[in-house]
Structures are given as structure tokens and as C-alpha cells.
Structure 1
């Protein structure tokens, strides 16, 4: 019973971070399943990707209700990411458990420190002042295909739906506001996570149905709660809240 409740809690936490800032379920579900319940990183990543599908789709629906989505410029990115995610899933199956688990924990810690140090919207403005992005802005089709492929590979290999990377691309390259970028990124992430999870379970030749259902149930509740709150909260408040949680989880997982 404790294990079942833990899986539901992991899914709920994944729904929270996805609804708040469009982050992938991998930052919550994978370390909890691996470090506390003894699942292999590869299986945990597959469950995380399946959880991402629910968390992202619910978040996308909520953001759309508030008028904070625009999928038009993300179609090509989605296509490239979905194809690359299938390739990444096969590569992931050939990597050792220690590499998969360690890379996931490092990503979590890095994201936490980044969020806590500076809000997302401020980091975007600083980045725009330091770097010339005219090359990518003038070639939006090429940029969408290129970055979409990178996102898809990352999704398939380490189980991250690519939400934060998509968010950065939409804000830096395409000039979206933060809230619209998050809403659009979770739409794209729904499809990349679906592609990645299918690829994972094909390679693994089995599906942990109970774990997927429980985690997705928690994600459904968490995403509804967080996405409604996120559409009304400031970027600074969201960044500090999620950053603190990520740092704590990352340090525990690495330890």
C-alpha cells in the first residue's frame, strides 16, 4: 500500500511541476521510483514519459482555456521531436542504469539552482541582451526542425519530455511571452512524451500498467491544481517555488 501511494504521490508531484512551469515528469517520477521503490532507471523513465502524456495534456487544456497557447509555430518542432524521441528511446535501452540515473539527478539539481537564482522571464531578457539570435529568428522552419530533433532525442534518452527546452526555444527564438510559451510547450510535450513512452515500452517488451495508471492518476490531479494556479501567478513566484523543490529532490537523489 505504501508503494502504491508513493507512485500516486510521484505522479501528483509531476503534475504540479508540469502545470507550473512545463517541466517534465522525469524530474519527479524517475528519482522517486528509482531511489525509493527500487525500479530500474529505464523502466522508471518509461513510466515518467507515460505520466508526462497525462500531465502535459491536462496542463495544455487548462492553459488553452486561459488563452495561453499558440501551437501554429510549433507544428514542425513537434513532428521532428516525435521522430527523434523514438530514436532516442532505442539509444536509451543500450545505456547502463547508472548513466541514466545519474544524468537524471544532475538535470534535476541544475534546473533547481537555475530557477532559484533568477526567475525565468529575467533570465530570458538577460540572454537576449548577451546573444544575437537573428540567425535562428530568420530561419524559423530550420530552427523548429533542428531544435525539435534535439528535444526528441533528449526525451527518448533521459525520459525528459523536453518542456523546459521547448519553453526556452519558444521564448528566445520565437519571442513568446512566458505564459504562452509554457502553454504551447506542454502541448508539444504531450506528443514527444507519447512517442518516447511507446518507444520505451516497445524496447522493454512489457508495460507496467498498474504503475502507469497510478502515476497518471496523480498527475491528473496535480496538473489541474497547478495549471490553474500558474495562469494567475507571477513568473518570479513560480521560479522560486519550483526551484526550491528541485534542489531538495536533486540533492536527495544524488546522495
Structure 2
């Protein structure tokens, strides 16, 4: 009973992070399942896939209703990731548990540092943009008219083309979207990122949102919130492919603990979605980085000293 209650409580916390950031569910679920709920490492990675899948499915509708899911590019990215997901899932079962957890901890450190750097850079850009808008408003005597007609403003009532020619989604700058095509110099980057996302999803049992979100921002020019919502779509497809690839392996899943944890995570995911609309992108990124740093420290200490 106590184990089930712990699974629910921790699951809610993990779900809030996934719903708010569009990332992080598997990264948090695996250490929790291993060190708090006592699962073997390989079982934890498999259970994490189920948890991430259910949580992402619960969080996706909120982002879709608010126009934060790029279905076309998200489906393309997810489709490419399936190859890496199958390969990673089959390889994971062959790696010893302590090596798997050590590699997991190293990955956490790398992602935490990358997200910290991005968060600090985004915070600087936000301040510069706010200062520029303040100066422009002080010099202008005429208000700039914008429209929110869903017919005239095809991308959605929350997206307008500003006077500087940059499309903005919920106030965030977004590059003009272009179809993925061989002539695009960003296509190799998207393919590489999608394949790596799938591999990490299958190998570690993570959703891959920590890679998908920045790649959707950098390679496809999506705004942070739109990238976060789209990453949930990618998670659903990549985790489903990874689970199917584990059929026939010797990995065992504790279905009771997994489903109880997933139920709490799904509930938290529905709570976390609205929170993302109230925070600045830089705040979300920095909070995610700090959380990953703490989880990385616990994972490495427990694995190397256990």
C-alpha cells in the first residue's frame, strides 16, 4: 500500500514536469523506479516507456487545443525516430544494469549543462527583446493594430505577424515554417536529431523531449511552447515503437507499480499543461536544467557507490 501511494505521489510530480515542459518524464521516471520503487534497471526503462506514453497522451490534447502542435513536422520527425527507437530497444537489453545506469547518469549531466546554457541565452534574449519593445513603444505615438480573426490570421488567434516581419506565437518569435525537403540545409540535422531521439528513447526508456524540443526550435524554427507541444506527439510515436521492439526480450514489467505510477503521472500531466502558459520559456528551461542536475547527481552517486 505504501509503495502504491509513493508511486502515485511521485508520478503526479513527474507528470506535472512533462505537461509543463513537454519533456523530462522518462529522465525522471527511470531513477525514481530504480532507487525509490526498487525496480531492476532494465525493467525500469521498459516501465518508463509505458509511463511516458500514457503521460504524453494525456498532455497532448491541451497543447493541441491551443495550437501548440505542429502535426506535419512532428509526424515526420517521429517517423524518422522509429528506426533509432527499434535499434536502441534491442541493444539496451544486452547492456549490464550498472553500466546502463552509469551511462544514464552521464547523459543527464550532459543534458543539464546544455539546457542550462540554452536557458541563460534565452533569458538574455528575452531581456533584450523587452528592452527593445519598451524603447519602440516610447518613441511611437500610434498604437500598432493587430488582429485576432481566426480567418484572417491563419496560424491561429494567438499568432500574429509583428511589424518587424517576425511571426510570433504566444509572443515568442517563430521562424517561417518551410516543408522538410532534400534541398533544405537543415534536413540532415533533423534526420540526425530524430534518429538520436529514437535511439535514446529505446535505449534508456526516456521520451526524448529534452532533445526534441531544442531540435524543433533550432532546426525547424518553432517557438518554445509550440516545440514543447509538438514534442509530445513525437514521444507518443517513439515510445510506442520502442515498446513494440522489446517484445521477445527477457525484460519483465511490474504492471501494477507501472500503471499506478502512470495514472499519477497522467493526472500531473493535465495539471502541468496550463502551467507552461504562465511561465517564460527561459524559466521553464532553467527549471528543467536544475531538476536534471539534481537527478543526475543522485543517479551517479547511487550507482557508483551502491
Which range, TM-score by smaller chain? 0.7 to 0.9
Choose the corresponding residue for 2:220, options 163, 174, 179.
Answer: 174
Provide the rounded CA distance (Å) in 2 between the counterparts of 1:164 and 1:87.
20
Alignment of 1:128-207 (within 5 A): 138-139=184-185, 142-200=188-246, 202-204=248-250, 206-207=252-253
Counterpart position of 1:88:
88
Taking a change above 3 Å as real, the CA distance of residues 112 and 145 of structure 1, as seen in their structure-2 partners, is: closer
Unaligned 5+ runs, structure 1:
126-134
Question: CA offsets per residue over residues 88-146 of structure 1, 9 Å max, x none?
Answer: 10100001101111122233334344444552772897xxxxxxxxx998145554443
In the other structure, the counterpart of 2:13 is: 13
Q: Partner residue of 1:131?
A: none
User: Partners in 1 of 2:187 and 2:116 — Cα distance?
Assistant: 33
CA distance in 1, matches of 2:124, 2:86: 30
Distance in 2 (alpha carbons) for counterparts of 1:221 and 1:235: 23
Whether the 8 Å contact between 2:43 and 2:252 is mirrored in structure 1 is no
Distance in 1, Cα, partners of 2:79 & 2:43: 25
In structure 2, do the counterparts of structure 1 residues 141 and 225 end up closer, same or farther at CA, with 3 Å as the change threshold?
A: same
Give the superposition deviation at 1:32.
1.4
**1:60-139 counterparts in 2 under 5 A?**
60-116=60-116, 118-119=118-119, 122=122, 138-139=184-185
Structure 2 unmatched ranges of 5 or more = 126-180, 302-306
Identify the match of residue 282 of structure 2 among 221, 230, 236: 236
Deviation at 1:62, TM superposition (A): 1.1
Correspondence for 2:141: none
The equivalent residue for 2:155 is none
- The structure whose Rg is larger is 2
- In the TM superposition, what is the alpha-carbon distance from 1:45 to its structure 2 partner? 0.6
Deviates more, 1:110-119 or 1:220-229: 110-119
Shift >6 Å, 4+ stretches: none
**Match in the other structure for 2:263:** 217
Worse-matched range after superposition: 31-40 or 173-182? 31-40
DSSP-derived class of the 1:119 partner: helix
Please state whether the residue corresponding to 1:47 is helix, strand or coil.
helix
Distance 1:155 1:77, change over 3 A: same
User: What is the rounded CA distance, in whole Å, between the counterparts of 2:265 and 2:57 in structure 1?
Assistant: 10
In 1, the alpha carbon distance for the partners of 2:289 and 2:210 equals 13
Distance 1:83 1:162, change over 3 A: same
Q: Which residue of 1 aligns with 2:22?
A: 22
Compared with structure 1, are the counterparts of its residues 171 and 227 closer, same or farther at alpha carbon in structure 2 (3 Å cutoff)?
A: same
Greater mean alpha carbon deviation, residues 155-164 or residues 12-21: 12-21
Q: Work out the number of aligned pairs and report it.
A: 246
CA distance in 1, matches of 2:187, 2:282: 31
Which is richer in helix? 1
| Cα drift, residue 202 of structure 1 | 3.7
Of 231-240 and 178-187, deviating more is 231-240
TM-aligned CA deviation for residue 56 of structure 1: 1.3
Q: 1:67 deviation in Å?
A: 1.4
Aligned to 2:35: 35
Q: Per the alignment, in what secondary structure is the counterpart of residue 292 of structure 2?
A: helix
RMSD (CA atoms): 2.5
